[in-house]
Homo-oligomer: A and B are copies of this chain.
Amino acid sequence: MDTTGNNNQVMVDLTRVTRTFPPDVQALVDVSLQVNRGELLFLTGMSGAGKTTLLRLISGIEKPTKGYVEVSGMDLSKISRARLQKLRRLIGVAYQDFKLLPERTVAQNIAVSMEVAYRSRLFIRKQTRDLLAQLHIVDKHNTRADKLSRGEQQRVALARAVANKPDLILADEPTGNLDAESTELVMDLFHRCNESGTTILIATHDSSIYNRPDSRIVTLDCGRIVATKQDADKDTSEPVQYGPETLFTDCLKLLDKDTSEPVQYEPDGEES
């Protein structure tokens, strides 16, 4: 699979990215992050820290308020729509809310990511079969997505993200609904992909999957990168370590809100 754009070592490059939402939510503040090709990176942080927002910026669904997002050497704010579409076909995203089509079968859901890249039917069938087998849901091949248990849906979403053999996989909380055993299956799949050269970003709360010695972990807190645990055996040029904040403090923004400016309730507006 050819990668569009220049072929340097950096897959994802965020430069001082800030993303705010109206009215005054600061989802990401001044975040800089480089992810090399072939890396497996874990993104952690409290709920609401900005992990999903970061992944959405990388896949071009969200635009940064400030700063630059480069993927595979291309600045997302500058490329044409057609190029962005091509780029997206090289990125497999497993969304936190899955985004499955409820009325389609499992096989059809997985096929979507390959069909848009005009893969042959043979390839599609083989990939679907393989992935379902690896994730232990072969018997759900022709079941409608909305008839699946939540954990099965999660695995289907993962299979879809991986199916088209993308260069970059973004997995948002990929094991939230999975038991220990299924988590193992999923992580095996990711490791296999990673070994064959795919760059993988995983946003997760599940310490059992990121507390391995060989993983690089980036921790967000209230939209800022507060800690980076460096991968031991791979060398990256800049070991980032921001600010004086402690890990997992209760969100400062939240505390601020609670004390200094009392939350407004709009006594009449809330239920009429």
Counting CB contacts under 8 A, is A147 at the interface?
Answer: yes
The contact of A152 among B47, B181, B182, by CB within 8 Å, is: B47
CA distance A188 to B128 in the complex (A): 42
| Given A138-B258, A149-B52, A265-B125, A182 contacting B46 (CB threshold 8 A) | yes
- Do B111 and A179 have beta carbons less than 8 Å apart? no
Chain A: interface residue total (CB-CB under 8 A) = 58
Residues of A bordering B, CB below 8 Å? 21, 44-48, 52, 96-97, 105, 107-108, 111, 115, 121, 124-125, 128-129, 136-139, 141-142, 147, 149-152, 154-155, 172-173, 176-182, 205, 207, 248, 250-251, 253-254, 257-258, 263-267, 269-271
Residues in B whose Cβ lies below 8 Å from that of A264: 142
Expressed in whole angstroms, the minimum distance between the Cβ of A59 and any Cβ of chain B is 16
- Do A150 and B96 have beta carbons less than 8 Å apart? yes
Expressed in whole angstroms, the minimum distance between the Cβ of A102 and any Cβ of chain B is 11
Expressed in whole angstroms, the minimum distance between the Cβ of A105 and any Cβ of chain B is 7
Residues in B whose Cβ lies below 8 Å from that of A176: 173, 176-177
Across the two chains, which residue of chain B brings its CB closest to A178?
Answer: B47
| Given A177-B205, A205-B179, A254 contacting B121 (CB threshold 8 A) | no
The contact of A178 among B52, B108, B205, B253, by CB within 8 Å, is: B205
| Given A250-B136, A270-B107, A47 contacting B263 (CB threshold 8 A) | no
- Do B270 and A105 have beta carbons less than 8 Å apart? yes
CA distance A150 to B96 in the complex (A): 7
The contact of A150 among B52, B107, B269, by CB within 8 Å, is: B52
